[in-house]
Amino acid sequence: TQLLEQSPQFLSIQEGENLTVYCNSSSVFSSLQWYRQEPGEGPVLLVTVVTGGEVKKLKRLTFQFGDARKDSSLHITAAQPGDTGLYLCAGPAVSNDYKLSFGAGTTVTVRA
Amino acid sequence: ETGVTQTPRHLVMGMTNKKSLKCEQHLGHNAMYWYKQSAKKPLELMFVYSLEERVENNSVPSRFSPECPNSSHLFLHLHTLQPEDSALYLCASSQDPQQGFLQETQYFGPGTRLLVL
């Protein structure tokens, strides 16, 4: 199984500030997904990135897949309290495409 | 009800108890999954069912016993658990895992928070 490391583990910022969280691996991934998990809920898929160097935007969220497809980042512009949650990256495990290998996540807290 | 539901949402049990977690999906999907989420650790895939047949068992101890009576329902039967089994247990479903990762989106339920005393 390919391992995904996320950093930082925790991030607390003031409303209106920007933030970036990272997902790194020593292995090449064919694609990566980002999920957000709010307190008391299950993870919800935000985006899938497929092509090396790809950039996708979802309102104030910008996702980038590294050129070598070993890393990805999530940048949030002008964070709001509603962005609070656990951000998880996930990619396909080696042997079975449908199996997801998850990172441990970054807990983001946006203070009003 | 819509999406993926799980009951109970919270469960406290002793090490000698027997309990069951229930998951129901209202999305018409063919595959269902059990994951374990512990603090500061990545989600761990436990079991996968496709069309009611178990296709994955990730070396899970026998004190966890899954059951999938139909494509909409998934159970996790628990017995003689250990304190280290305390975690959030998440159920997920997807349309057809045979289509591969890119075509598949897994939809998660809210989870059952389990505490083993």
Whether chain A has a CB inside 8 Å of the CB on B52: the answer is: no
- In chain A, residues with a C-beta closer than 8 Å to the C-beta of B100 are 97-98
Nearest CB to A103 within list B42, B101, B108: B42
d(CA A33, CA A46): 7
The pLDDT score that the predictor gives to residue A57 is: 97
d(CA B28, CA A14): 41
Nearest CB to B43 within list A9, A96, A102: A102
Whether chain B has a CB inside 8 Å of the CB on A104: the answer is: yes
pLDDT, tens only, B16-42 = 889 999 999 999 999 999 999 998 899
pLDDT > 70: percent of chain B: 93
Pick the residue with more confidence: B87 or B56? B87
- In chain A, residues with a C-beta closer than 8 Å to the C-beta of B7 are none
The pLDDT score that the predictor gives to residue A100 is: 83
Beta bridge partners of A36: A44, A87
Average pLDDT over residues B55-81: 92
Neighbours of B61 (CB within 10 A): 11
CB B63, CB B81: distance < 8 Å: yes
The answer to whether A98 contacts B45, with C-beta atoms less than 8 Å apart, is no
The confidence band for B100, taking pLDDT boundaries of 50, 70 and 90, is low
The pLDDT score that the predictor gives to residue B1 is: 57
d(CA B84, CA B82): 5
* 3-class secondary structure, B101: coil
Average pLDDT over residues A22-37: 93
